[in-house]
């Protein structure tokens, strides 16, 4: 289990004012016992911290339909997590692990690679035993997006001409976050069947992510049905969550951090739903930070699809989102900065103190909270 503790959230929180925030402002001490290792038995049985008012209210997620109003619009991220984590070995025999970040054309992919010594361009890798043993092979074409890139450009070859998506589905494992302990490499992890179901949302339809939009994991068919009965409209966007979502911020000065890039798309039906919501005076409710990044990227660029590396920190002016449903995030993460920009730094830190004191479950399989955009 990684050590993610530095200082206590009970420390005095400095006033926001107009000061420049630094990385240390978003650090806090989290007991390891609060890092959820498994999902709740029922999706909507997780807890929901209602943080819209100054005094938070402890609720259960299935209460959500009663907290929204007829005419509100819920916007989900419908991305589907790929089984992108694959184990294998180099032609020389050294073990390796790849995490496919993006699928390109002609059976080519972009991937992270964990190996003791990186193979040379043109080097062949045998994944899941290689073609000779019923698996598949990969050839290193170079770095990505250029020769100095951190990712690797690979071409995959299956025994029967399978696509990269088919190969991942057949041989891969869901790339769970580093703070969830599993034993995927051995092939005998008893939790894998549960993860295959529960680390996907019930409306995941667009394959391409390597991490789940975790705020949406709490929704089940019962909650969705009750939302519809209440008159809450639904729409979807797609943002394929990349492994960069877990990338630590290493610079104390936030302006020096290079944000990772992710691909997004907004259907025309969703644009129409957003316009209808504004016309009737409803509120736009983003389910998760990935939905926030998608909508706010569109609001600034005017592009309905493409790559975004938007970095949201306190002082950011939200143009689209009114309410946010989100899980509890890692200390010093870009997601902590995003929610602080949305609901106010002092308020968010106060909510985190409340959540820790009341033993809320944190991170991907953890509990959630409902936030309202800070006024002024």
- Helices 334-343 and 345-357 pack at an angle, to 10 degrees, of 110
pLDDT band at 90 (very low <50, low <70, confident <90, very high): very high
Residue 67 in 3-state DSSP? helix
Closest by CA to 177, choosing from 367, 368, 363, is: 363
Q: Which sequence spans correspond to the domains of the chain?
A: 23-81+201-372, 85-172
- Say if residue 7's pLDDT is above 80: no
pTM of the predicted protein model:
0.91
Instruction: Return the higher-pLDDT residue of 310 and 375.
Output: 310
For the CA atoms of 139, 145, 146, 150, the dihedral, rounded to the nearest 10 degrees, stands at -80
Burial classification of residue 363, based on how many CB atoms lie within 10 Å of its CB (0-12 exposed, 13-18 middle, 19 or more buried): buried
- Fold classification of 23-81+201-372 is QueA-like (3.40.1780)
Average pLDDT in the 342-349 region? Answer: 97
372 DSSP β-pair partners: 323
What is the per-residue pLDDT for 186? 59
Residues, the chain, total? 376
Distance between first and last Cα of the chain: 40
Neighbours of 30 (CB within 10 A): 21
Q: What percent of the chain has pLDDT over 70?
A: 94
What is the per-residue pLDDT for 6? 36
For residue 4, what is the DSSP state? -
pLDDT digits (tens, 9 = 90+) for 130-157: 999 999 999 999 999 888 888 999 999 9
pLDDT digits (tens, 9 = 90+) for 18-55: 678 999 999 999 999 999 999 999 999 999 999 999 99
- Fold classification of 85-172 is Thrombin, subunit H (2.40.10)
pLDDT digits (tens, 9 = 90+) for 210-254: 999 999 999 999 999 999 999 999 999 999 999 888 888 999 999
């Amino acid at each position: 289990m990684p050590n993610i503790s530095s200082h206590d959230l009970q420390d005095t929180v400095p006033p926001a004012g107009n000061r420049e925030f630094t990385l240390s402002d978003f650090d806090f001490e989290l007991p390891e016992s609060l890092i959820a290792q498994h999902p709740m038995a029922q999706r909507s049985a997780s807890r929901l911290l209602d943080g819209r008012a100054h005094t938070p209210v402890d609720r259960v997620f299935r209460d959500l339909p009663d907290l929204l109003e007829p005419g509100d619009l819920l916007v989900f991220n419908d991305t589907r997590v790929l089984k992108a984590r694959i184990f294998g070995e180099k032609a020389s025999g050294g073990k390796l692990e790849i995490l496919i970040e993006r699928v390109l054309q002609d059976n080519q992919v972009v991937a992270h690679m964990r190996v003791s010594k990186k193979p040379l361009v043109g080097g062949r890798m045998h994944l899941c035993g290689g073609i000779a043993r019923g698996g598949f092979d990969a050839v290193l074409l170079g770095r990505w997006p250029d020769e100095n890139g951190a990712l690797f450009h690979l071409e995959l070859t299956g025994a029967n001409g399978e696509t990269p998506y088919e190969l991942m589905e057949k041989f891969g494992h869901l790339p769970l976050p580093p703070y969830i302990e599993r034993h995927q490499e051995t092939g005998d992890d008893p939790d894998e069947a549960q993860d295959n179901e529960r680390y996907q949302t019930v409306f995941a339809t667009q394959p391409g992510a390597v991490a789940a939009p975790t705020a949406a994991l709490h929704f089940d068919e019962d909650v969705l049905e009750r939302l519809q009965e209440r008159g809450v409209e639904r729409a979807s966007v797609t943002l394929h969550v990349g492994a960069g979502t877990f990338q630590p911020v290493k610079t104390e000065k936030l302006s020096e951090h290079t944000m990772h890039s992710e691909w997004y798309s907004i259907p025309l039906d969703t644009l129409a739903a957003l316009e209808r919501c504004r016309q009737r005076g409803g509120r736009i409710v983003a389910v998760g930070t990935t939905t926030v990044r998608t909508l706010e990227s569109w609001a600034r660029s005017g592009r309905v699809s493409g790559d975004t590396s938007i970095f949201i920190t306190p002082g950011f002016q939200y143009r689209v989102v009114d309410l946010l449903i989100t899980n509890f995030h890692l200390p010093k993460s870009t997601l902590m900065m995003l929610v602080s920009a949305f609901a106010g730094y002092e308020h968010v830190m106060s909510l985190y103190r409340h959540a820790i004191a009341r033993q809320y479950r944190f991170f991907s399989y953890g509990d959630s909270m409902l936030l309202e955009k800070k006024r002024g």
